[in-house]
Amino acid sequence: MSSTQILPSIDKTHKKAFGPISVPERLLLGPGPSNAHPSVLEALALNPVGHLDPFYISLMGEVQELLRYAWQTHNRLTLPMSGTGSAAMEATIANVVEPGDKVLVAVNGYFGNRLVDMASRYKADVITIEKNWGEAFSLEEIENALITHKPSLFAIVHAETSTGVCQPMEGIGNLCNKHGSLLLLDTVTSLGGVPLYLDEWKVDLAYSCSQKGLSCPPGLGPFTLNKRAEEKLNSRVGKVPNWYLDVSLLNKYWGSDRVYHHTAPVNMNFGIREALRLLADEGLENSWSRHRKNAEELWQGLESLGLSLHVPVDLRLPTLSTVSIPEGVDGKAFALHLINEFGVEIGGGLGVLAGKIWRIGLMGHNSRLENVQKILNLFETELPKFR
């Protein structure tokens, strides 16, 4: 550029003089994200390294090992997708669904419907079985649908964050095996907080997220698939119709070849490594029982305040509890009051449960007795103002 050249004048319309970021303090007791663990935040704040740096490559292996532990699986293809839980959700569908494949989806909440939407975008022939939002599926209902429709894939949500239901998993994998269907499981709100045994349950594909039970900020979507699902992937006629989420390409980076695919979100992987390390350090059994114990405290406390839980106790999810909003109470106004006056977030209902329930999450590092007491105190002192 010559010094005499005259540049066009700069348009300053969007040049705003903002101060440096300052985030209000929040206690996140909604459906996610949960608060990040302080040492996860420290890991995120480290300087990045190159995504092909030998240090980083060994860190990738550590993340994979810890994910296998958290999920109780030996699956080779276990890695965090760059994206939130929905990216990993889409990855499971994109990799094993071919146009015209029959995909059976169990819908008893918001996230079952998202699976339906995704599978239909990948041109599956989608069939659903449905239950009321707040109920779970029986083995008989699942087997009848498998016999009638003979799907190549059956998808179900383990922990329905929109309803607070934990789907009992015993026996479902055997039925899928018997009827020649792959089993896809959404473990977004169960990983780390609820007993979960992918291999034992014969789950073929699963996904999760970083920001709920793992107490890492949103940005990674753990993904896994087993040998049976790999066979389906390898027998595809056409390419996986999503370049970014194609696990055969990703495995050239996460596997032994270390071929560049996309620049890994290095710091997010620092964060999830720390989150998974903390989980392993505590031990799955201890984390699961901590979540259970604190959820039971919450349920008892809410009931003793005269409130009722939306889900019967044997199906209740320890990581997310749903509370019926009492007659005449403006649920949204109450939740807004909690965040504005106390910096405490709880969630409202989705879909058919909008305006009917609150959703209280006790996930990961947030599942602590002091938080249970805090939210119970707020219900006790503040809710009467909304009656």
Ligand X SMILES: *Cc1c(COP(=O)(O)O)cnc(C)c1O
Nearest 5°: the CA angle 255, 261, 267 is: 85
Nearer to ligand X, 191 or 378 (CB): 191
Q: Are strands 320-324 and 102-107 parallel, antiparallel or unpaired?
A: unpaired
User: What is the rounded distance in angstroms from the CA atom of residue 259 to the CA atom of residue 359?
Assistant: 43
User: What is the rounded distance in angstroms from the CA atom of residue 36 to the CA atom of residue 43?
Assistant: 11
Tell me whether residue 384 is exposed, middle or buried, using C-beta atoms within 10 angstroms of its C-beta: 0 to 12, 13 to 18, 19 or more. Answer: exposed
Count of residues touching ligand X (by CB under 6 A): 14
Q: Is 90 in the site for ligand X (CB under 6 A)?
A: no
Nearer to ligand X, 60 or 89 (CB): 89
Nearer to ligand X, 160 or 230 (CB): 160
Nearer to ligand X, 89 or 146 (CB): 89
Applying CB under 6 A, the span of 9-17, 154-162, 266-274, 308-316 interacting with ligand X comes to 154-162
Contact between 277 and 283 under an 8 Å Cβ cutoff? The reply is no
User: What is the rounded distance in angstroms from the CA atom of residue 9 to the CA atom of residue 7?
Assistant: 6
Nearer to ligand X, 166 or 376 (CB): 166
Q: Is 96 in the site for ligand X (CB under 6 A)?
A: no
Query: Taking the CA atoms of the chain, what radius of gyration do you get in angstroms?
Result: 22
Q: Is 166 in the site for ligand X (CB under 6 A)?
A: no
| From candidates 96, 157, 198, 302, binder to ligand X by CB under 6 A | 157
Nearest 5°: the CA angle 91, 96, 101 is: 125
- Minimum Å gap between C-beta 214 and ligand X is 11
Residue with the CB atom nearest ligand X in the bound state: 85
Contact between 199 and 177 under an 8 Å Cβ cutoff? The reply is no
- 222's CB contacts (< 8 A; 6+ apart) are 67, 70, 71, 78, 79, 80, 81, 88, 191, 207, 208, 209, 210, 272
Nearer to ligand X, 152 or 189 (CB): 189
The pattern of x and - marking residues 17 through 56 that bind ligand X according to CB under 6 A reads ---------------x------------------------
- Minimum Å gap between C-beta 339 and ligand X is 19
| From candidates 48, 49, 72, 86, binder to ligand X by CB under 6 A | 86
Strand partners, 208: none
What is the separation, in whole angstroms, between the first and last Cα of the chain? Answer: 70
Sign of CA dihedral 80, 58, 266, 52: negative
Q: Is 97 in the site for ligand X (CB under 6 A)?
A: no
Nearer to ligand X, 30 or 151 (CB): 30
Nearer to ligand X, 85 or 348 (CB): 85
Q: Is 113 in the site for ligand X (CB under 6 A)?
A: no
Nearer to ligand X, 63 or 87 (CB): 87
135-to-116, 138, 324, 351 alpha-carbon distances in Å: 18, 10, 15, 15
The pattern of x and - marking residues 200 through 239 that bind ligand X according to CB under 6 A reads ---------x--------x---------------------
Q: Is 155 in the site for ligand X (CB under 6 A)?
A: no
Nearer to ligand X, 86 or 177 (CB): 86
- Minimum Å gap between C-beta 94 and ligand X is 15
Q: What is the residue whose two structure tokens read 């909604």?
A: 30
The pattern of x and - marking residues 237 through 276 that bind ligand X according to CB under 6 A reads ----------------------------------------
DSSP secondary structure, 250-267, as one string: HHHHHSSS---SS---HH
Applying CB under 6 A, the span of 57-65, 81-89, 120-128, 232-240 interacting with ligand X comes to 81-89
Q: Is 94 in the site for ligand X (CB under 6 A)?
A: no
| From candidates 188, 245, 250, 383, binder to ligand X by CB under 6 A | 188
Tell me whether residue 113 is exposed, middle or buried, using C-beta atoms within 10 angstroms of its C-beta: 0 to 12, 13 to 18, 19 or more. Answer: middle
CA-closest candidate to residue 78, choices 167, 204, 168 = 204
User: What is the rounded distance in angstroms from the CA atom of residue 359 to the CA atom of residue 163?
Assistant: 8
Binding site for ligand X (CB under 6 A): 32, 84-86, 89, 111, 157, 159, 161, 186, 188-189, 209, 218
